[in-house]
């Protein structure tokens, strides 16, 4: 290498280690298109105006600021007017908009939730949640984190083993699987009211089923012990339809 090449390389390394925020690399490993939806928690920005299209095999890099908090989910079977960005999705739809602009997705949808630093700690907390049900397998994997950084994931297709009472069908196909809370909307299943604490809110038979199939996901309220991951990494890869890495 020449001196100038060494200099450029060093600048590159420095720029990598001094970026303030966190990089999220969104990968679509599914055979079909995914339209990720993104929603910043109140007070935090929403990148990409809240949604975009990822062809099969495509990826998109998002830079989110320090301490960013928000959620991301996959929408499937979408059809949008190219001029207006209006249309609909079979799952995860946000008022029929390509760019969700502050709206959440219609459940059931697998949610990737994260808080990338708080006023109390610079640690990152994240999970793949099935509390609002399931539509597509997804994982969140840190790159370059410290020891003990976990992978949050639901890598299996819960749609194929969804109990019939929880199934969501579109055009004759199972496209989603409701959680017990979503299906029953009762305090017991949703851990609300008198059930709003870990002692009285126990996982249901469905919570146990979800947990058995997706052990690295957050399957019911208060599933913090195995569902919630902690890390401090400069970047994370969020993969829809991740290959099973056991
Ligand atoms: C993020 O939180 C830390 C405390 O952990 C604080 O010092 C810092 O100013 C915050 N950064 C932003 C951009 O809010």
Rounded to the nearest whole angstrom, what is the distance from the C-alpha of residue 182 to the centroid of ligand 1? 35
From 66, 68, 124, the mutation candidate for ligand 1 (largest count of ligand atoms within 8 A of CB) is 66
Q: Vertex 231, ends 229 and 232: CA angle to 5°?
A: 155
Model pLDDT, residue 246: 44
Rounded to the nearest whole angstrom, what is the distance from the C-alpha of residue 20 to the centroid of ligand 1? 10
Please write the tens of the pLDDT for every residue from 75-124: 999 999 999 999 999 999 999 999 999 999 999 999 999 999 999 999 99
Q: What is the mean pLDDT of residues 236-242?
A: 98
Sorted by where each begins, the domain ranges of the chain are 22-240
Longest Cα–Cα distance of the chain, Å, equals 69
pLDDT above 70 coverage of the chain, percent: 91
Q: What is the mean pLDDT of residues 207-222?
A: 87
pLDDT above 90 coverage of the chain, percent: 72
Please write the tens of the pLDDT for every residue from 150-175: 999 999 999 999 999 999 999 999 99
Which residue has the CA at smallest separation from atom 12 of ligand 1?
A: 66
* DSSP code at position 41: P
Residue 32: pLDDT over 90: yes
Rounded to the nearest whole angstrom, what is the distance from the C-alpha of residue 115 to the centroid of ligand 1? 12
Q: Is residue 60 left, alpha or beta, with left meaning phi > 0 and alpha meaning psi from -120 to 50?
A: beta
- Which pLDDT band, with edges at 50, 70 and 90, does 1 fall under? low
Q: What is the mean pLDDT of residues 10-26?
A: 68
From 64, 119, 120, 232, the mutation candidate for ligand 1 (largest count of ligand atoms within 8 A of CB) is 119
By C-alpha distance, which of 132, 141, 123 is closest to 221? 132
Q: Which residues does a 6 A CB cutoff place in the pocket of ligand 1?
A: 65-67, 117, 119, 121-122
Q: What is the mean pLDDT of residues 114-140?
A: 95
Which residue has the CA at smallest separation from atom 1 of ligand 1?
A: 67
Provide the CATH topology of domain 22-240. Thaumatin (2.60.110)
Q: What is the mean pLDDT of residues 228-233?
A: 94
Q: How many CB atoms lie within 10 A of CB 1?
A: 8
pTM of the complete model beyond 0.75? yes
Paired with 176 in beta bridges are 168
**CB-based burial label for 185 (10 Å; 0-12, 13-18, 19+):** exposed
Comparing 173-182, 206-215, 228-237, which segment has the lowest mean pLDDT? Answer: 206-215
Please give the number of the atom of ligand 1 that sits closest to the Cα of 120. Answer: 5
Comparing 38-42, 46-50, 190-194, 219-223, which segment has the lowest mean pLDDT? Answer: 219-223
Paired with 141 in beta bridges are 237
Model pLDDT, residue 168: 97
Q: Report residue 229 as tokens.
A: 């991951």
Residue 6: pLDDT over 70: no
């Amino acid at each position: 290498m020449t001196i100038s090449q060494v200099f450029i390389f060093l600048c590159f390394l420095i720029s990598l280690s001094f970026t303030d925020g966190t990089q999220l690399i969104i990968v679509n490993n599914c055979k079909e298109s995914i339209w990720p939806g993104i929603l910043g928690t109140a007070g935090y920005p929403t990148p990409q105006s809240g949604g975009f299209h990822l062809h099969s095999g495509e990826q998109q890099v998002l830079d989110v600021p320090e301490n960013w908090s928000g959620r991301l989910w996959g929408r499937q079977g979408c059809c949008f007017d190219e001029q207006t960005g209006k249309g609909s999705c079979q799952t995860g739809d946000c008022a029929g908009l390509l760019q969700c602009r502050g709206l959440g997705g219609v459940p059931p949808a697998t949610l990737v939730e994260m808080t990338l630093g708080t006023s109390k700690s610079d640690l990152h907390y994240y999970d793949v949640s099935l509390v609002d049900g399931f539509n597509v397998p997804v994982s969140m994997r840190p790159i370059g984190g410290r020891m003990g950084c976990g992978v949050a994931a639901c890598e299996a297709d819960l749609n194929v083993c969804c109990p019939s009472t929880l199934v969501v069908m579109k055009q004759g196909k199972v496209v989603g699987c409701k959680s017990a809370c979503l299906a029953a909307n009762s305090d017991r299943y949703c851990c609300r009211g008198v059930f709003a604490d870990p002692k009285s809110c126990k996982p249901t038979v469905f919570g146990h089923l979800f947990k058995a199939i997706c052990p690295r996901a957050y399957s019911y309220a208060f599933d913090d012990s195995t569902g919630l991951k902690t890390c401090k990494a400069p970047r994370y890869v969020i993969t829809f339809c991740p290959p099973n890495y056991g």
